[in-house]
């Protein structure tokens, strides 16, 4: 004879729902520290997890929290000049250009020397003309003044047309804006340069060349700000 007994719920009633450990714990008064400690110990021994410990918070990783796409061109322009090293050859070229009032020219190597970009500095007139052309582009409806990302990209394209002369020894651009050219003529020259080879750049190559531009300008800025520091110009060794 079967001696096991089983209590069935009365007709029309469902069996009581089995409560989980966190649900049981929630019924206790958590203001009682002694009782709370016993409850936590019981749940831990039973393999449960206290309710307040169920939430797992993952700290955000700034490496993957990208900014708004419209801001990427601005964040790329920020570079820490303290981490940029300047060679003795670059210092020599900078001083010679400074004394002769000529554009600074030297090469920036990336990817362990596999990508070599030859650049030159912009003149003050060329710098002003870039903004003159951008203003005319806005007036002509070519650049939307509210689209900041495109505005910055267009400015970088014009700078690239003037500054980048060769990539791995191959001619990239030979644009030079002389003071005798008016804004309309300068606009045509820059538009042709952008349409000719800059707009066709892939995203990776565009990023690499713009990085070379920023490194070049950071080096020039560092040498310019260290002009009064005699130790900076003393050759190593």
pLDDT computed for residue 61 by the predictor: 44
- State CA 4 to chain mean position distance: 71
- Does residue 33 contact residue 41 with C-beta atoms inside 8 Å? no
Range with lowest mean pLDDT among 37-46, 184-193, 196-205: 37-46
Q: Which residues contact 55 (CB under 8 A, 6 or more apart)?
A: none
Instruction: Give the angle 153-128-96 at the CA atoms, nearest 5°.
Output: 100
pLDDT computed for residue 22 by the predictor: 53
In this structure, what token pair is assigned to residue 70?
Answer: 């419209």
Backbone angles phi, psi at 205, to 5 degrees: -70, -40
- Does residue 166 contact residue 180 with C-beta atoms inside 8 Å? no
Residue with the bigger pLDDT between 128 and 34: it is 128
- State CA 63 to chain mean position distance: 10
Question: Is residue 38 classed as helix, strand or coil in its secondary structure?
Answer: helix
Residues in the chain: 237
Q: For residue range 28-79, list pLDDT tens digits in order.
A: 455 566 666 666 676 666 655 555 545 455 554 444 343 343 333 434 444 5
- Does residue 119 contact residue 108 with C-beta atoms inside 8 Å? yes
């Amino acid at each position: 004879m079967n001696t096991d007994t089983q209590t069935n719920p009365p007709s029309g009633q469902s069996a009581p729902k089995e409560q989980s450990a966190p649900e049981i714990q929630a019924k206790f008064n958590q203001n009682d520290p002694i009782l709370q400690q016993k409850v936590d110990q019981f749940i831990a021994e039973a393999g449960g997890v206290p309710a307040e410990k169920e939430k797992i918070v993952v700290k955000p990783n700034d490496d993957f929290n990208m900014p708004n796409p419209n801001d990427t061109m601005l964040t790329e322009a920020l570079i820490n000049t303290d981490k940029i090293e300047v060679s003795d050859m670059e210092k020599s070229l900078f001083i010679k250009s400074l004394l002769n009032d000529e554009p600074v020219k030297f090469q920036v190597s990336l990817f362990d020397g596999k990508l070599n970009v030859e650049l030159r500095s912009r003149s003050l007139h060329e710098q002003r003309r870039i903004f003159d052309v951008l203003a005319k582009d806005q007036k002509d409806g070519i650049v939307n003044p509210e689209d900041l990302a495109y505005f910055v990209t267009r400015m970088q394209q014009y700078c690239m047309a003037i500054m980048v002369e060769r990539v791995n020894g191959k001619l990239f651009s030979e644009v030079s804006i002389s003071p005798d050219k008016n804004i309309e003529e300068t606009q045509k020259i820059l538009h042709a340069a952008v349409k000719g080879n800059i707009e066709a750049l892939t995203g990776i190559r565009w990023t690499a060349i713009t990085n070379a531009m920023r490194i070049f300008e950071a080096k020039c800025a560092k040498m310019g700000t260290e002009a009064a520091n005699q130790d900076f110009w003393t050759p190593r060794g």
